[in-house]
Structure 1
Amino acid sequence: MEQAPCISQIATLLADPKRAAMIWALMDGSAKPSEELAMLAGLSASSANAHLARLAAGGLLRIEARGRKRFFRMAAADVSAAVDALASTTMASLARSAVGLPVAALLAPSSLRHARLCHDHLGGEMAAALYQRMVLAKWVERFEQRLHVTPLGARQLAERGIYTQALAQHSYSTMACDCFDWSEQQPHLGGALGAGLLQLFMQSRWLTVINESSVLQVTETGRLEIARMAAL
């Protein structure tokens, strides 16, 4: 037990529904005043300030003074990544425990739903749409419950500078796999290929990270180029 990571402190901070609501409101990378966060969480000003002070003391939020007002934002990108991972696990576990029943999507800012970091690959609406196009274009296909890159897919990806043979040398357990997308209720692409695609998009400056969040800003060129990829 002594060697187990001490995650209980962070888990306790996030377990409170009101604190979780305020954290969730900051997932888009924005900085919000305590009054706005209090209203979003349904708290009095004094209660909100007490909760926000705990989140800041725990290293989850950063305080910015603007005149007489205090604004709060995510302290670092790892906080956003942890909350996003919890959202994904929550929705995936609900889907597993209620097979065949609809699971209500989490409410989130449109920017967070559109394109965001999911671990080391692209998540959100853009990622789910790209994954579906790759399946329809037969760039990837499922065989015996595993996702494989087809010879056609390997050629098409190589033309865009993504070489599957090189990706196979990395320390990923799989070349391509499903990753459950909590905002889309359908999978997007994970694994070495998912990470390689995100790297291509970032290096091409089609996507940029917004502040200390998981949100990705998409340029107009990026929107067009990614939409063309695997388009039939």
Structure 2
Amino acid sequence: MEAAPCISQIAGLLAEPKRIAMLWALMDGSAKSSEELARLAGLTPASANAHLARLIGSGLLRAEARRGRRLFRVAAADVSHAIDALASTTLASAARASPDAPLPVLAAPPALRQARLCHGHLGGELAAGLYARMRAAGWIERYEQRLDITVKGAHRLASLGIFTQALASPLACDCFDWSQQHPHLGGTLGAGLLQLFLQSNWVSLVNESQALQINAVGHAEIARLAANE
């Protein structure tokens, strides 16, 4: 129980709405000035600087000088992971509390909406579109609550260098995350596809964030997967 006070200290910092608003604005890996963060969080410059000082002092943010300006960014990837987990838990707990109610929409920075890391696999709009195409093309089929890779899907994936028989369980599952209202592919197959995209240099990580940057070749190649079948 000795660790509990340390956990509560960080939790208390993240619980303040204005501070989490500034951290949320930096989740895409960007660096922003105190003036910009103050405007985004609805704070006066003096209040923003006070909050930023606490976030830097706690190790959640870091400051850097760029062309005479002082900019702020997330200090490390674990900070982004923690905020991402809180966002996911927000939606999951809302779904458990009111199963028939629509889920709240968490407005994400555009880079996170497009493509992001989600529990070790690809999330965001790009992932949801790919998953929909894979199901429509017959690569994946649902049997009650279970997802299975079809013979056709296994053959197509093998041609990409992903051998489903070598992957651990769970191979495929629906995954919902806070940046999308539609599911994307989870499981070891989802992780394998992300590794393929990274190794092919189609996507790349953005600083210490959850955001993924997709280049032009990556957009074209991923859009071709499971399309027109």
When the two structures are superposed, what TM-score results if normalisation uses the length of structure 2? 0.92
Distance 1:140 1:9 in 2: 45
Deviation of the 1:2 alpha carbon: 4.3
Aligned partner letter, 1:71: L
> Identical aligned pairs, as a percentage?
68
SS in 1 for 2:183: strand
Distance 1:53 1:3 in 2: 24
Q: Alpha carbon RMSD of aligned pairs, Å? A: 1.8
1:188 lines up with 2:184 in the alignment? yes
Distance 2:133 2:181 in 1: 16
Moved more, 143-152 or 182-191: 143-152
When the two structures are superposed, what TM-score results if normalisation uses the length of structure 1? 0.91
1:125–1:184 Cα contact (<8 Å) kept: yes
For residues 160 and 42 of structure 1, do their structure 2 counterparts lie closer, same or farther at Cα, with a shift above 3 Å needed?
Answer: same
Distance 1:25 1:4 in 2: 28
Aligned length: 228
- Map 1:1-232 to 2 at 5 A: 1-2=1-2, 6-66=6-66, 69-168=69-168, 173-231=169-227, 232=229
Distance 1:150 1:9 in 2: 49
Distance 1:133 1:223 in 2: 15
4+ residue runs over 6 A deviation: none
Structure 1 unaligned runs (5+)?
none
SS in 1 for 2:64: strand
Moved more, 14-23 or 73-82: 73-82
SS in 1 for 2:12: helix
1:81–1:119 Cα contact (<8 Å) kept: no
Moved more, 215-224 or 178-187: 178-187
Distance 2:5 2:172 in 1: 30
SS in 2 for 1:181: coil
Distance 1:71 1:59 in 2: 15
Deviation of the 1:67 alpha carbon: 5.4
How big is each residue's C-alpha offset from its partner over 1:166-202, in whole Å with a ceiling of 9 and x where there is no partner? 222xxxx511112112122121111111110000000
